[in-house]
Each structure stands twice: as C-alpha cells, then as structure tokens.
Structure 1
Amino acid sequence: MELSESLSRLSASVGVGFLMGLVRERNPGTQAGVRTYALVAMLGSVGAMLIDHGVQWLLPAGLVMLGAMMIAALHGRDASHDAGTTSTVAVMLCFCLGAAIWIGPVLPPVLLGLAATALLHFKPELEGFATRLKPADVRSILRFAAVSLLVLPLLPDAGYGPYDSLNPYRIWWMVVLISGIGLTGYLLLQLLGSGRGALFVGVLGGLVSSTATSLTFARQVREDREQADSAQVVILLANLVVLLRLAAFTAVVCPGALRSMLPVLGAGLAPGAIAAGRSYLRNGSRHDLGVSNPGEMLAALGFAALYAIVILVVAWLNDRIGTQGVYLAAAVSGLIDLDAIGLSTMHMVAAGTLTPASLAIAMVIAYIASLAFKFGMIAVVAGRPLAQRLIGPFALIAAGLLFGIAFA
C-alpha cells in the first residue's frame, strides 16, 4: 500500500473515532471521550495493519480486551448512572471500524461510523420517537423487515410467464423500494412532527403518497375554505416530490437513462417549484398531515399485483404495437399508480427493450395523466376555491414537461 493511501486510511480512521468520541464527550457519565475513541480507532487500524506482518491474534485479542476494560471501568458505578452498555458497544464498534477502514474499502465503514455517531447524538429524539410509535407502526416496521430481509433473498431472479416478463425477485424488490420510501416518509413525520409548516408536510407527504396528501387537504378545504392557500402549497410540493422520486428511481433501476430523464423532469420541476415558492411565501401556515402508515402488508401485496399486471400489459402492448403501446399503458396506469408504470418501464430500459428517450416520454404521459386525475379529484372534493388555485401551477408543470420532451 502506498504512503498516501496509508495516510488517507489512517486519517479516516482517526476522523471516525474523533466524531464518535465528540458525541460521547457530551455525556457527563461517559467513561470514554474524544481522545479514547480516536485512540481506539487507531488501535483497530494498527491491529489490521499488523495482519500483513503475521500478527493475526491482535485484532480479536484487542476486541476482547476493550470489552473487558469497559466492563471493569463501569463496575461499581451507582445506579443513578447509565448502565454503560451503549459506551461498551460504541467503543468496540469504533475499534472494528478502524480495522475495517484499513483492510477494505473506506467508504462503508466511514458511513457506518457516521450512522453510529448520529445514533449516539440523537438519543433523546430516538427515545421520544419510540414512545410515540403506535403498536401498528411497530408491526409495519417488522413487516417491512420481513419482506425485505427474509422474503426477497428467497425469490428466484429469473423471468417467467408471457414474454418472460415476470421476474419474482425484481417485482418484490420494487415492492421493497416503494414500501421503504413510503414507510420512511411516514416515520419521519412521526419523528419530527407533522406541524412543521406547509413546506415540510408537503415534501414528506409526497414521500408517503401524493394522492393521499392531495385528498387529505382537499377535504380540509371542503370543511374550511380559509385553508385553500396552505393546501395549495402542500399539494403542489407533494406532487413535485413525485418528479424527484422518479429521478431517484431512475438512478437506482437504470442509471443510464438519467441523461434523458433529468432535463425533462427538471423542466417540469422548475415552474412548479416557482409557483409553490410564491404560494408558500404568501401563506406558510401550519397543518397536520393525516395519512395512514403505508407499511401494511396488504398494501405491499396490492402493489406487487398491480406492478405485475402493468408489466404484462406493457410487454404485450410493446409486442403488438411497439413503443406506442408503452405510451398507451403509461396513460392508463398513470391514472392508477405512477410508480408501477415508472418502475416497469425503467426495468425495460435496463433490459434493453426500451430506449431512454421513450422512457422519458412514457413518464411524462403517466405523470400528466396522474396530475389530471388528482386535479379532477380535488375539484370534486374541494370545489372551486382550491381547483382555481391549482389549475395554473398544474398546467405549468405539464407544459414544462412537454417542453422538456420537445427540446431535451
């Protein structure tokens, strides 16, 4: 290993230890602070370094000795202090991260170190979050862990059915992706609170469900027309977040299509963001977002069935009438579920059966169809006060997307 790389790895190791120790130093009852954690990370790196020189025993011995030292330091403390389990685990983790930084790729252990630092720092918030969770929320988290960590690895990664278009692994992986984003948005609402203003609620509402968010605030306007301005902000932001989600899905599923997708999505996002910003500056009052937990198993299974159907329909239409069939499927599916058609067409791009340019056109068609459906729903539920405020911004978003398709 070259000297520059060695110094870089050692610096990263000390940096991770320093950050973890900086957080623990703020705890008055801690037995280890900045210097100790930095030294522990260095010890882990030195132990890993000596493996190349035949000293294989230092790493496991060092880990055992650290654990014993922490337990001995905590022995006999009075009951008013913390039991010290977190400190013991954190010190041992810091040692392992220092070793991992030296042995393998630097980024994964550094990210783990940052995550550990965040967990140590946000102790009060996490404890409050845990107490606010309902039993149904905990069950949803466990179900999501089951569908992602237990079910997904067992599914075959092969094509079945007509056109070999049904891949159980990929279908369920999309379920995990959608459910994970929705559940994350919902839990953030529980952790940070939903009364943080129209900006915060709109963005997180878009992560949970832009349709549910639009319907929720349309109902609020029906009950109280004075809320129309704030509802406009929330609904606009929730639907703009959908464009960001599409960009994120593209980056994950078929990153090669980003060059075609980003200019188009940006052309729709820009005028919508300007309209939302103007409305927010005019009225940024606080609201509660009343959406339900999206992590339920029935919702995940329903999306899996819908996604499989959309894949079959898109494959059949593409086989019968070519690319125009994909566009027809996008228009129909956009009325029901934008994620399903989006992920299925992205999968076709990744497989080489659809071009990135055709993907961008299909996404614009699906998004405009979805936007038209939501506007109709809002007009029926909330009436003119909210519909009149949204027709202009919705039209600007649609025009921007069409402009992006025409000139991108």
Structure 2
Amino acid sequence: MKYLMWLPSEGERMLFVLFLSFLIGFEREERKSSNYVFGGVRVFPLIGLIGYSIAALSDGVLLPQILGFAVISGFLWISYWHKLTGSGYPGVATEMSGLVTYIVGVMVYREMFWIATALTVVCVLLLELKTRLETLAQTIEPTDILNFSKFLLLSAVILPLLPDEPFSEFQLNPFKIWLVVVAVSAVSYGSYVLQRLTKGQGGVILAALLGGAYSSTVTTIVLARRSKQEGQDYLFSGGILIASGVMYLRLAILLALFNRDLMFRLTPSFLGLAVVAITTGWLWTKREKATVLKPQDTFNTNKNPLEIGTAILFGILFVAMLVATRLAVDHFGHYGVYALASLMGVTDVDPFIMGMTQTDPALTPLDVAASGILVAAASNNIAKGVYAYTLSSSKAGMQSLLFLVFLSALGLIPLLL
C-alpha cells in the first residue's frame, strides 16, 4: 500500500478494507439471482467499514469491538430469520461471510494485513466453490473421515506425548519408535487413499503402482490370485514385477526420512532397481491388452494402514527388530544381521529395514546396515516369487518367479562391489 504516498495511513487502510470487503460482496452479488441474499457489493463494504471504524474509535479497545460484532450479528440474525420464514432456504453462508467481513475491517485497523487478506481469500474460495465442495462431501465416505482422524490421533496426539530419550540397554526411544510408525503408516495411507480415489478407474498397471507403495507383498498375492481368474499371464506377471519395483522407491523415501547416510549409500541402487523393474514390467504387460479391474476385485484384501491395531502391531514388530538386531550383533556379529535380514524378508521387511535406520553405528556399521537392507529386500523378492508361483496360474507364476529371482540377484550385486 506504500504506493499511495499522497494518502494518510488511515486512508490506505480504509481503501484496503473496501477492496477486501468488495471481493466478498461481489461474490455474494452473483448469488442474488438464485437465492435470497441480504447484501452484495454495497452492504459488505459497509460492514467492513463499520468494523474498521469501531476499531478506530475505540482505539483498539476490545469491548467496543465485541459490542459492534454483536450488533452486526443481530442484523444478520434478522436477515437469516427472514430467509427461513420467507423462502425456507436454510443456508447461512451469507450471514457468516458478513461476520467475516466485519472481522476483516478490525484486523486491517490492527495492521494484521496478511491475516485479513488470507481470511478474505479463503472466504471467497469457500463461497465460490460451494457446488464442488458439496459434491466432494458426497463422495467422501464416513470411513474416510474416520481414517483421517486416526492419522491425526497417531501423529498429532500420541506422538507429542512420548518422551524423546532412550531407555534400557537397547536404547529404545519411544518418540523415534512411534515417529517411524507414523511415517510408515503415512506412506502406506497415501497409497491407500489413491487406491480409494481411483477405484474402478484403473487397470492392472495402476493397481500395481499404487499397491507397491502400499505393500508389494500384499499386491503380489492379490494379483497372483487374479491371474487365475483373468488368464492374462503377461499382464499380471508384469504387474507383480512393477509392484516390486515400486517397493524400492518406497524404501528410498523411508530411508530419506530417517537415515540420510543410508539413503546416500542405497538410493542409487534402489533407483536403478526400481527403473529396471518398473520398465521391464510395463513392457512385459504390453504383450497383452490391459483390462480394467472391478472395484471389488482389486484391493479389498488391503487393510487400512491407519487402524490403531495395525499401528501398534507394527510398533511391536519394530521394537522386536531393534532388540533382535542388537542381540544378533552381540552374539553372532555381522553375520547375525544378514541371517536376520534373510529371515525377515519372508514376511514384512519394513520393521527390519526401519530398525536398521535406528541402530547404533558403533554396533552396526553403515556398510553392514546397508548390506542387511539389501539382503532383506532380495529375500522379500524371492518370497514374493514363491507366493506368485503358488497362487498364480502356472504360466504367470513361473514368469513372476523368474522375474523376482532375477530382481533379487540384481539387488545383491552392490554387495559384490
């Protein structure tokens, strides 16, 4: 506002109030043709000027501003009562926007320019996007809101309450342990949400990409079972390979969040493996025409990763991996880490790999931790190959097994270097 040097500061503020109030009033003016609206491009600027004037006359004292707010609220209540008795239209957005306009005027007097501008912009967007927001609300299921509330419970309620200091001889830090649980759940939940949003709109390739970010093991099992029903061997075996490629991208993200040294050590290998697997899998699927998966057949076996029981189970497994890794190093040295990595690859590798990010470098050197992660990922690929071979059609199962064994071998090459 400094470009209006010829105006006093009060004049600049009044023009600013008029500008912000006019934006809200202009949006409400457009609605007059369809619904009853008590004001538009004239009334809303007046409300903003009233708020500014009362704040100026009271010299910033709060009580007169509150009384002014109450008076404006009374007029708006009369308007709302007239709307209900006259048209029966129950919408209260116009009255609420009038209150916002009054508050904007007060904020401008207090030189809270950024907040006043942001409040105006948000108000106009909420009013203008009425139809889209109502459509979105109708598409969101109550379970989705509950799931997001669970994420807030895990991250914003439980996490800050935990102590950020190590306990016991195993140096278990409750805050860091739960932070890992939240991070892994968030990555999986992001894929879970995308699966819900694209349900019934994507084919095997999209299902493999999103499922690989959720859980490549679960995705392998689901696609393997589907291959028996569909009889499209190349399509599903390629999709299983794509899901395993996405697994490496998922691991790279988790390493970037919790251990930069391991990230720098393993990310080049992980990115290379992901590119090879995803590209090869995609080219392989092109040998058959992709089909759209039915919603009920795609990922109904996926459990919501934000279930409290799921999060607690992961936390228990993570703590168990921290303790088991410490015991393996103490009793068997580095070979104990590799044996544990091979064993954990048969089930879920996330607890073991995240445990590697939190181990003491003095006990588990960086090269040992990196090698253990590579072994666990390779072991998991072989396990998924066995699952695919067992559950798929014979041809798709053999193709998947060969692909995943080859990917596992590629993943172990960095150990030789």
**Alignment TM-score, normalising by the size of structure 2:** 0.69
- Among candidates 107, 113, 127, match of residue 138 of structure 2: 127
Which residue is equivalent to 1:217?
Answer: 223
> 1:370 offset after TM fit, Å?
0.6
Cα distance between partner residues in 2 of 1:90 and 1:248: 46
Q: Which runs of structure 2 are paired with 1:6-405 in the superposition (5 Å)?
A: 83-85=91-93, 88=96, 123-130=134-141, 133-134=142-143, 139-164=146-171, 166-226=172-232, 228-281=233-286, 282-287=288-293, 288=295, 289=298, 290-294=300-304, 295-348=306-359, 353-405=363-415
Cα distance between partner residues in 2 of 1:25 and 1:218: 58
Cα distance between partner residues in 1 of 2:173 and 2:403: 39
Change (3 A) 1:154 1:283: same
1:291-332 CA-partner distances (Å, limit 9, x unpaired): 233233322222222111111011122233433332222211
What is the one-letter code of the residue matched to 1:311?
L
More helix by share: 1
> 1:341 offset after TM fit, Å?
0.8
Cα distance between partner residues in 2 of 1:218 and 1:76: 63
What is the one-letter code of the residue matched to 1:276?
G
Aligned-pair identity (%): 19
SS of equivalent residue, structure 2 residue 273: helix
Cα distance between partner residues in 1 of 2:99 and 2:241: 46
2:165 touches 2:175 (CA, 8 Å); kept in 1?
A: yes
> 1:156 offset after TM fit, Å?
2.2
> 1:339 offset after TM fit, Å?
0.6
What is the one-letter code of the residue matched to 1:322?
G
1:364-387 CA-partner distances (Å, limit 9, x unpaired): 111111111111111112242212
Cα distance between partner residues in 1 of 2:153 and 2:386: 37
> 1:88 offset after TM fit, Å?
4.8
Cα distance between partner residues in 2 of 1:140 and 1:84: 29
> 1:267 offset after TM fit, Å?
2.0
Cα distance between partner residues in 2 of 1:212 and 1:24: 51
Change (3 A) 1:393 1:80: farther
Change (3 A) 1:280 1:297: same
SS of equivalent residue, structure 1 residue 193: coil
Cα distance between partner residues in 2 of 1:285 and 1:190: 18
Change (3 A) 1:76 1:178: farther
Cα distance between partner residues in 2 of 1:280 and 1:73: 63
Which residue is equivalent to 2:17?
Answer: none
Which residue is equivalent to 1:106?
Answer: none
Cα distance between partner residues in 1 of 2:246 and 2:96: 41
Change (3 A) 1:219 1:55: same
Stretch moving more, 370-379 or 174-183: 174-183
1:156 touches 1:167 (CA, 8 Å); kept in 2?
A: yes
Change (3 A) 1:158 1:367: same
Which residue is equivalent to 1:16?
Answer: none
Equivalenced residues, count: 376
2:162 touches 2:174 (CA, 8 Å); kept in 1?
A: yes
1:32-89 CA-partner distances (Å, limit 9, x unpaired): xxx9xxx9xxx9xxx9xxxxxx9898xx99xx79x96998997855768682549958
Cα distance between partner residues in 1 of 2:226 and 2:344: 28
Cα distance between partner residues in 2 of 1:85 and 1:360: 56
Structure with max Cα Rg = 2
Stretch moving more, 87-96 or 391-400: 87-96
Cα distance between partner residues in 2 of 1:30 and 1:246: 55
Cα distance between partner residues in 2 of 1:358 and 1:373: 22
What is the one-letter code of the residue matched to 1:369?
S
Change (3 A) 1:73 1:327: farther
**Alignment TM-score, normalising by the size of structure 1:** 0.70
Say which structure, 1 or 2, has more relative contact order (CA 8 Å, 6+ apart): 1
Q: State the superposition RMSD in angstroms.
A: 5.2
> 1:29 offset after TM fit, Å?
7.4
Cα distance between partner residues in 2 of 1:291 and 1:97: 52
Q: Runs of 5+ in structure 2 lacking a partner?
A: 1-23, 53-58
